[in-house]
């Protein structure tokens, strides 16, 4: 009997404790919700006072090693606004997302398309004329002013090799094509921006004679990889003698890894350049802020940040780092007109495809 009373008492105690706990939990949750609401309201009023500039770019631009975070910090310090990045895998994926998502593509500014995509990008109707007067660009830059887009960095396509392993690199494209002992890797022109660069480079050197050149290159090719990283990985692993990349790649190894093993093979015929561009959305409410950001991108400070974190050359004359500034300059080849590219691209790809099969 006594045990039973005890049990009942214990049950009552437990029940009371439970109700008290529930009450406390409830008041806790109510206060949490209230707190959240208040903080949300504060945040939204803050957002109202501070405009946000949404920048769409490619992934490697905003990684912790990329220029994105540093640019954001520097720009937010002076603009009284907040900068927000959204990303696609790379430049072409950015353009595809614009085509896929149309007006739902959330960006005021698109950063990271390249010169060869100008015609296609303009045709989407997504961009507005920037009407900006640009600072004087670098002397060796062959840029034709465009109403919609502004260049922010550049690099020449080049084959990178390991100096310790390849003692006598070819000095011309022709020599590479006829070299018996060299194997090269490059990304697929159908799938990668760098690979597409090879297509333009080859067509700009060879003009009419590309078929034979592709056939010779196929004999030198170890493999064609889906993206730049697999190609470059094969070079670093020592599998391939040369990999297609940018002439600025060796600067990364020198500055970050303190290694001077890697170098770009400079070819007599010249090198094709990739110029990366930025453009403003046609109906953005933040057009003025977007223009300020573009001007900010072309300041010496930002150009230095971009060059030393994106591993490309600045578009204005500015000192960055001796390792990057003192890279031997390649001979530049004139870029194709955007219209020529959009007309010829398909036949160039099929030309490569039909002549590169072994």
Partner 1 sequence: MRFRLSPHDTPKIIAWVFILGCFLCSIYGLVSAASASSHHDTSLPWQYWGEVFSFTLWQAFLSTVTSFLIGLPLAAGLAWRFERAKPYLLALMQLCFVLPPLVIVMILIQGLGKQGWLNSLGLSPYGLLGIVLGHAFLNAPFVARNVIQRLESIPRTEMQLSQHLGMSTFAFYKWVGLPHLTSTLKSTFLFVFLLCINSFAIVLSLGGGPGSTTLEVAIYQSLKYEFNPHQAAWLAAVQCITTLSIAIIMIKSSATHPSKPECISLGKKTKGIHYIALISFLLLWCLPLCLFITRHLTNVISQSFWIEPLALSLVYGFTVTTLSALLCFALLSSQRAKTASTLIANLGIIYPTMVLTTGLTLLWYRSALGQWSPLILILAIQSLVILPYLYRALSDPWDRIKHQYGPLYAHLNMSSGQRLRWVYWPLIKGPFIGSFCVSTVLIMGDITVPAMLGFEHFPTLSVSIAKSLGAYRFEIAYGLAAVQLLATLFLFSLAEYFGRTEYANR
How many CB atoms are closer than 10 A to CB 290?
Answer: 24
> Which x/- pattern, by CB under 8 A, does the window 45-74 give for partner 1?
-------------xxx--xxxx--------
Residue among 22, 50, 163, 190 that touches partner 1 (CB under 8 A): 190
> Which x/- pattern, by CB under 8 A, does the window 21-50 give for partner 1?
------------------------------
- The per-residue DSSP string of 120-183 comes to HHHHTT-EE----PPPPPPTT------SSEEEEEEEEEEEEEETTT-SS--SSHHHHHH-SS--
CA 299 to chain CA centroid, nearest Å: 19
Cα(307)–Cα(320) distance, integer angstroms: 7
Residue closer to partner 1 by CB (options 90, 115) is: 90
Residue 52 contacts residue 82 (beta carbons within 8 Å)? yes
Which residues does 49 contact at the CB level (< 8 Å), separation at least 6? none
Residue closer to partner 1 by CB (options 70, 291) is: 70
Q: Which of residues 318-357 bind partner 1 (CB under 8 A)?
A: 346-347, 350, 352-354, 356-357
**Residue 329 φ/ψ, nearest 5 degrees:** -75, 130
- Token look-up 């039909």 returns 354
Cα(35)–Cα(51) distance, integer angstroms: 24
Residue closer to partner 1 by CB (options 43, 63) is: 63
> Which x/- pattern, by CB under 8 A, does the window 78-117 give for partner 1?
-------xxxxxx-xx-xxx-xxxxxxx------------
Residue among 177, 188, 265, 308 that touches partner 1 (CB under 8 A): 188
**CA atoms within 13 Å, Cβ hemisphere of 182:** 27
Q: How far is the CB of 137 from partner 1 (least distance, A)?
A: 26
Residue closer to partner 1 by CB (options 89, 216) is: 89
Compute how many residues bind partner 1; rule: CB under 8 A. Answer: 60
Cα(88)–Cα(124) distance, integer angstroms: 17
Residue closer to partner 1 by CB (options 128, 356) is: 356
Residue 185 contacts residue 244 (beta carbons within 8 Å)? yes
142 binds partner 1 (CB under 8 A): no
Q: Which of residues 225-264 bind partner 1 (CB under 8 A)?
A: 225-230, 232-234, 236-239, 249, 252, 256
CA 351 to chain CA centroid, nearest Å: 27
How many CB atoms are closer than 10 A to CB 193?
Answer: 23
Residue from 180, 258, 252, 214 nearest 348 by CA: 214
191 binds partner 1 (CB under 8 A): yes
Residue closer to partner 1 by CB (options 77, 357) is: 357
Q: How far is the CB of 127 from partner 1 (least distance, A)?
A: 17
Q: How far is the CB of 141 from partner 1 (least distance, A)?
A: 24
Cα(109)–Cα(348) distance, integer angstroms: 31
Residue from 328, 320, 338 nearest 144 by CA: 338
> Which x/- pattern, by CB under 8 A, does the window 259-298 give for partner 1?
----------------------------------------
Q: How far is the CB of 210 from partner 1 (least distance, A)?
A: 14
Task: Give the footprint of partner 1 on this chain (CB under 8 A).
Answer: 58-60, 63-66, 85-90, 92-93, 95-97, 99-105, 188, 190-191, 196, 218, 221-230, 232-234, 236-239, 249, 252, 256, 311, 346-347, 350, 352-354, 356-358
């Amino acid at each position: 009997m006594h045990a039973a009373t005890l049990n009942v008492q214990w049950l009552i105690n437990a029940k009371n404790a439970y109700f008290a706990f529930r009450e406390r939990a409830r008041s806790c949750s109510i206060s949490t919700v209230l707190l959240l609401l208040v903080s949300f309201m504060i945040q939204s009023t803050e957002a109202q006072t501070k405009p946000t500039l949404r920048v769409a770019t490619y992934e490697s631009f905003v990684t912790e090693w990329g220029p994105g975070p540093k640019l954001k910090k520097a720009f937010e310090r002076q603009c009284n606004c907040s900068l927000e990045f959204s990303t696609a895998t790379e430049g072409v994926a950015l353009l595809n997302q614009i085509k896929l998502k149309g007006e739902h593509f959330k960006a005021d500014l698109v950063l990271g398309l390249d010169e060869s995509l100008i015609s296609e990008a303009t045709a989407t109707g997504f961009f507005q004329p920037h009407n900006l007067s640009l600072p004087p660009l670098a002397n060796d830059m062959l840029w034709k002013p465009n109403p919609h887009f502004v260049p922010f960095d550049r690099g020449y396509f080049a084959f990178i090799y390991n100096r310790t392993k390849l003692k006598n690199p070819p000095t011309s494209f022709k020599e590479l094509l006829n070299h018996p002992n060299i194997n090269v890797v490059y990304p697929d022109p159908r799938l990668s921006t760098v690979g597409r660069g090879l297509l333009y480079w080859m067509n700009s050197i060879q003009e009419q004679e590309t078929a034979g050149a592709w056939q010779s290159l196929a004999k030198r090719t170890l493999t064609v990889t889906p993206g730049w990283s697999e190609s470059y990985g094969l070079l670093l692993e020592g599998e391939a003698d040369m990999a297609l990349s940018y002439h600025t790649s060796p600067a990364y190894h020198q500055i970050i890894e303190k290694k001077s093993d890697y170098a770009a093979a400079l070819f007599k015929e010249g090198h094709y350049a990739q110029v990366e561009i930025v453009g403003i959305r046609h109906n953005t409410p933040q057009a003025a802020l977007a223009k300020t950001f573009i001007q900010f991108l072309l300041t010496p400070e930002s150009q230095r940040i971009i060059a030393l974190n994106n591993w490309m050359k600045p578009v204005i004359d500015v000192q960055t780092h001796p390792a990057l500034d003192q890279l031997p300059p390649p001979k530049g080849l004139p870029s194709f007109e955007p219209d020529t590219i959009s007309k010829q691209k398909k036949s160039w790809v099929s030309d490569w495809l039909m002549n590169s099969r072994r």
